[in-house]
Structure 1
């Protein structure tokens, strides 16, 4: 099975949701890191993950 971004997004969302439930202060950092990574993938900077 090949792991692509479309396969990882649901897993990342579940893990982020669990982390936010455990420690709500992590919400800002989780959202910021997610947006930066998605932006870099969208621009093609991280071509390995696209």
Structure 2
């Protein structure tokens, strides 16, 4: 069972380190294309809403 736990740890680390990278890219895109702000905020709210509803029980 050790390899599965190690793999899950790597996946969790990749997901947690992806947040700042996505934020940086979104910020740069908003500076370059201000109209993109509506779409970025909408996608963010949809993702956060889905995570709140399902709470990590999606498999």
TM-score bucket (shorter structure) = 0.7 to 0.9
| Structure 1 residue 42, shift from structure 2 partner | 1.9
1:24 counterpart = 2:34: yes
Greater relative contact order (Cα < 8 A, sep 6+):
1
- Cα distance in 2 between the residues matched to 1:24 and 1:39: 24
4+ aligned runs moved over 3 Å, structure 1: none
**Count of matched residue pairs:** 47
What's the TM-score, normalizing by structure 1? 0.72
Unaligned runs of 5+ in 1: none
SS state at 1:17 partner: helix
CA-based RMSD: 2.0
Max radius of gyration: which structure?
2
